[in-house]
A and B are shown apart, each in its own frame.
Chain A
Amino acid sequence: MRASALLASAIVVLLSGAELAFADCQTVSASDVAQDIQNCPSANNALKNNACNFGGAAIAESGGNSCASNGNNFGVLQLTRSNLANTGYSPSQYLNLSPQQQVCIWAQQVGNSNTSGAYQTLSNGGSINGAPVTAGMLAACFQFGPLICKNDLAFMQANGGACPTAGKAGVRATGQTLSSGSANLDGNNQSICSWGQSIQNKINQAAATCSGSNGSGTNCPGGVSAPGGVIPPSPGNAPVSLPANLA
């Protein structure tokens, strides 16, 4: 009886760990992620021009751990399970890829779509009704996707630059609110302002590694001395290689 219980426990442990079996976890810096974005053939200009900001976002999302996962998001840039399903990699396979490979898959899967719409509006405007557009806000916009970003942007324009919150006009993302187009907070009740601030803090912390020696391709907003500030309008942010959509 005892032996069978032990065997059952062992099987449970093996099964539960099978999906996320880690072999080669790596911890990378914001600068490393920025460089990986620059090196990636599938990353578009919008990503490359904000590579360091996404490096900061990676630290906010995963701590830079290539094996980071909450069961639904995976890797240094927390690619969603939904997007991962399209790549042919299982979660454990993906987590065992190098950070460079993870970043390239992330860029290919979500780079074009999430840099469309409101992302472009944000990246080309220094402020929204008085509220500065930060690199962290832009990264949060990217991670949430065009719908929530667009709704947050509209809310800010109508409410003196303030974002919705769970207690004030916030609509959490669910199947219904996404379908109706009303969602303005992500599944964790974060707006581009609140989550943007979290990312911004990480970008600021990562400033030293981002602005230093490697130089090539990292792009800390505000220059070397003041990374993570307001994003100036940049032609490089505007043109995004979007897929051809039919009329």
Chain B
Amino acid sequence: MPKRRRLSSPLIRALRCLARPLASLRQMEGRCSRAHQLPFRWRFAPLMPAPAGASRVALAKPAKEFFVSAALTLAMLVPLATNAQQAISHRLTAQSFSLTDSNLQARIWSDQVPEMLRFRKYLQSTPGGADKPLVGVVYTTSFEAGGKQIVVSVISNNCANAGGVPDLLFCPARVASLSAGKLEVLAGIPDLLVTVSEADAPQSSARKATIVTYDPQAHQISFANVDGSERTELPQKVVVR
């Protein structure tokens, strides 16, 4: 008779434990006590330090059963709550956007679109330029925060040189929030040091990239450039509330 395989994730074990009816708390005791030896044990250690050999200690009183249940509940909820508050990092991705319709990026950079459009039309008028699309390029990513979409957008227009160092430029950046179709530019950075790449070429596989991190606890956006294993934090921070 084949042996039934049991999933061994700490969370699943905790869920199994909590799914048991209270009436079978005694039965649960033996199995749940093993949770003390799981990696999550440290999370409820302050509430109930798990002594060595805890699994062999019989829980005779309802109070103990209550503490076991409470500890297991915490073991399940604390990691979930912690994950929800963890900082999230995304690479900026090069993306072209139309200069002739009202898309998200065109709205964020609406004050720059007319000048960019003029120049693109000029390029189209030059020999060999007729096929050049009327598009701009941004390096962008977004995060979900409190029911809003936080968009980070760095535009490849009016970028300043960075001493001839390959793939780096100082470019204007904006952080905007989008909620129910309403766009609000929260902050602007006139000269963000950004890793640039070809339009529409994701940086996911590139050695060099600009990383944007959203910290939901601090409500803060921060930036870093990576080049292989080297990571350099940038001084600019944006608070998004």
**Which A residues form the contact surface with B (CB < 8 A)?**
41-42, 72-73, 80-83, 85-88, 93, 96-98, 101, 104-105, 108-110, 112-114, 116, 142-148, 173-176, 178-181, 183, 185-188, 243-247
Contacts and interface: CB of A to CB of B under 8 A. Distances in A.
B188 interface: yes
Interface string B162-184: 11111111101010000000000
Contact of A97 (B128, B168, B172, B230): B128
Contacts of B73: none
Nearest to B137: A86
B235 interface: yes
Interface string B45-73: 00000000000000000000000000000
A187 B234 contact: no
A147 B160 CA distance: 9
Contacts of A72: 164, 166
Contacts of B193: 175, 178-179
Contact of B164 (A73, A112, A180, A247): A73
A245 B188 contact: yes
Interface stretch (B24-32, B78-86, B195-203): B195-203
B74 interface: no
Contacts of B118: 41
B100 interface: no
Given A82-B159, A86-B196, A108-B119, 12 more contacts: A41-B122, A85-B198, A97-B128, A113-B170, A142-B161, A143-B164, A144-B164, A145-B160, A147-B160, A179-B232, A243-B157, A247-B188
Given A173-B162, A187-B164, A88 B132 contact: yes
Contacts of B190: 245
A104 B119 CA distance: 9
A175 B161 contact: no
Given A187-B164, A246-B187, A247-B188, A109 B225 contact: no
Interface residues of B, number: 50
B168 A175 contact: yes
A244 B233 contact: no
A42 B123 CA distance: 11
Given A97-B126, A105-B123, A178 B161 contact: no
B172 A86 contact: no
A187 B165 contact: yes
B144 interface: no
27 contacts: A41-B122, A72-B164, A82-B196, A85-B137, A86-B156, A86-B157, A87-B123, A88-B123, A88-B132, A88-B199, A98-B126, A105-B123, A110-B160, A112-B158, A113-B159, A143-B161, A147-B170, A148-B163, A175-B168, A175-B225, A176-B230, A178-B165, A179-B235, A185-B163, A243-B111, A245-B172, A246-B187
